[in-house]
Amino acid sequence: MQNATKDNDVDLAAVEQWMDSADLGDGPIEAIRPIPGGTQNVMLRFTRGGRAYVLRAPAASARIDPNRTVGREIQLLNALSETGVPHAALIRACSDDAVIGRMFYLMEEVDGFNATETLPALHAADDEIRYRMGLAIVDGALSLASIDYRSVGLEEFGRPAGFLERQVARWSDQLHGYRDYVGWPGPDAIGPVTEVAEWLEANRPVNFVPGIMHGDFHLSNVMYRPDGPELAAIVDWELATIGDPLIDLGWLLATWPDQGPTRPPERSMIRWDGLPRRSELVAHYAAATARDLSRVEWYAVFACYKLGILLEGTHARACAGRAPQDTGERLHAAACRYLARALDLTREGIRD
């Protein structure tokens, strides 16, 4: 029986027994389908008793503390349950390690699609819908930033005091930590990282209004409704914290596809011509918030800086034989592009 097997190191027979104890349907777990995602997490879609579920758990090989990460996701999804933020609703969490060896949770299936993987005919054929898709992702960031995190029980979810002051040093330390990988050529290999870091420190915003931030906010981490341009859900909350929500806007600007008629090299969205320009994303955000966007370039530069450092980590591991060489080289090239983009932003600001 399929329900008595393990799928992606998840003991589904044990999950079924736990669901019995939680009064979550009856009968066998069926129609099991892995949902693609990162290497640090496992997601499985299945049905039981006619209802669809999505199970999310840390991968058994996750490098980070699996229970801490999934515990934070559970806490956040609980906090979002009474808000207008589009997200997959939490059904039930399991904090008992004995069931599958680490914590996990079940959430509702989202009726939506990832625009970096496919576009339905409705969206592919209509420039206006694609334009509104760009505004809708900004609306998603705005909805998250508008929440009073204290009122939803997230007072201890992050450390907003001194948040911006910590960021550059935090990621600089990570970059220099890659020296532990034998064969890595060093920080200068990704370009003007020191110059960008100095600019960030010299131009850091003095004040910000703390709020919930997603931490990895871009097109790959949202799902759109199949019947229109609105968001169906923001997904992958593992980096969420309490900090400066304008970093989510900066992340969106840094990763936003350039305009053109065909598939971009870093995205698999079939059509991205017609999307709003970066300046239009900023204007749409500014029109709906009291947050100070006068230093919006700083947030985009910081996003490029952090992304470049994160991507270079795989290159460093590849240099030491701990990751595929071709993957390391591809991500190294992307890291170099992000640092070059960061430097350009320090000089030119946000351009279309």
87 and 135 part of one domain: no
Whether 251 shows a pLDDT value over 80: the answer reads yes
Residues sharing a CB contact under 8 Å with residue 192, sequence separation 6 or more, in sequence order: 339, 340, 342, 343
Question: Which residues are paired to 107 by β-bridges?
Answer: 54, 90
% pLDDT > 90, the chain? 84
Show which of 83, 107, 131 is a domain's final residue. 107
Q: Order across the sheet with 30-34: list the strands.
A: 30-34, 41-48, 51-58, 104-107, 90-94
Whether 269 shows a pLDDT value over 70: the answer reads no
Name the least confident of 8-22, 247-261, 283-297: 247-261
Whether 152 contacts 83, CB under 8 Å: yes
206 and 305 part of one domain: yes
CATH number of the domain to which 54 belongs: 3.30.200.20
13 and 69 part of one domain: yes
43 and 190 part of one domain: no
Q: Which residue has the tokens 């989510």?
A: 248
- Take residue 173 and report the two structure tokens written for it: 């330390």
Q: How many CB atoms lie within 10 A of CB 101?
A: 15
- State residue 339's pLDDT score: 97
Residue 49 belongs to some domain of the structure: yes
How far apart, in whole angstroms, are the C-alpha atoms of residue 205 and residue 165?
A: 9
8 and 55 part of one domain: yes
Show which of 79, 107, 135 is a domain's final residue. 107
Residue 260 belongs to some domain of the structure: yes
Residue 115 belongs to some domain of the structure: no
Which carries the bigger pLDDT value, residue 266 or residue 164? 164
Question: Which residues are paired to 55 by β-bridges?
Answer: 44, 106
152 and 271 part of one domain: yes
Residue 116 belongs to some domain of the structure: no
Residue 37 — very low, low, confident or very high, per pLDDT cuts 50/70/90? low
Whether 254 contacts 172, CB under 8 Å: no
CATH number of the domain to which 173 belongs: 3.90.1200.10
Q: How many CB atoms lie within 10 A of CB 39?
A: 9
Amino acid letter, 151? S
* Structural domain count of the chain: 2
Residues of the domain holding 48? 2-107
215 and 324 part of one domain: yes
- State residue 164's pLDDT score: 97
Show which of 85, 107, 129 is a domain's final residue. 107
Looking at every residue in the chain, the average pLDDT score rounds to 92
- State residue 4's pLDDT score: 43
Residue 114 belongs to some domain of the structure: no
How far apart, in whole angstroms, are the C-alpha atoms of residue 318 and residue 328?
A: 5
78 and 182 part of one domain: no
Residue 295 belongs to some domain of the structure: yes
Whether 32 shows a pLDDT value over 60: the answer reads yes
How far apart, in whole angstroms, are the C-alpha atoms of residue 197 and residue 194?
A: 5
146 and 86 part of one domain: no
- State residue 205's pLDDT score: 97
Residue 290 belongs to some domain of the structure: yes
320 and 233 part of one domain: yes
125 and 78 part of one domain: no
SS3 labels along the chain: CHHHCEECCEEHHHHHHHHHHCCCCCCCCEEEEECCCCCCEEEEEEEECCEEEEEEEECCCCCCCHHHHHHHHHHHHHHHCCCCCCECCEEEEECCCCCCCCCEEEECCCCCECCCCCCCHHHHCCHHHHHHHHHHHHHHHHHHHCCCCCCCCCCCCCCCCCHHHHHHHHHHHHHHHHHHCCCCCCHHHHCCHHHHHHHHHHCCCCCCCCEEECCCCCHHHEEECCCCCCEEEECCCCCCEEECCHHHHHHHHHHCCCCCCCCCCCCCCCCCCCCCCHHHHHHHHHHCCCCCCCCHHHHHHHHHHHHHHHHHHHHHHHHCCCCCHHHHHHHHHHHHHHHHHHHHHHHHCCCC
Residue 113 belongs to some domain of the structure: no
169 and 308 part of one domain: yes
Residues sharing a CB contact under 8 Å with residue 82, sequence separation 6 or more, in sequence order: 152
